[in-house]
Amino acid sequence: MSDQEVVVYTSRNCAKCDQVVAKLSEWEIDYEERNVSTNRDHFKELQNMKIYGTPATFVNQEKILGFQERKLKRALGIQSTERFVDSDMMNYS
């Protein structure tokens, strides 16, 4: 459903990887999953980019490490209905 090229490097027993994949599916984003646990070539690809952990998501080659929902939304052009609230601004005297 998207025009972006989305590649997600995942590994076995990785809760954050599962979160990334679940969100992409929820948002109906087409993506390619590359599991580094089952394919040594995918592991080497990540190492060549100096990345040593998963998940590592690339949206049109923009790198997003870990599960960062706001960064994923921004990179994918998904409007966020959430607003950032600075808790320090909420402390009134």
- Per-residue pLDDT reduced to its tens digit, 45-57: 999 999 999 999 9
Residue 52: give its domain's CATH number: 3.40.30.10
Does some domain include residue 44?
yes
Spatial CA neighbour of 21 closest among 8, 39, 11, 3: 8
Does some domain include residue 79?
no
What confidence score (pLDDT) does residue 86 get?
52
Indicate the number of domains in the chain.
1
Spatial CA neighbour of 12 closest among 31, 30, 39, 50: 39
The half-sphere exposure of 46 on its side-chain side, counting CA atoms within 13 A, is 24
Residues 68-84 have pLDDT tens digits of 999 999 999 987 665 55
CA distance 90 to 78: 28
What confidence score (pLDDT) does residue 75 get?
95
pTM for the full model? 0.81
Average pLDDT of the residues in 57-64: 95
Residues 12-24 have pLDDT tens digits of 999 999 999 999 9
Does some domain include residue 1?
no
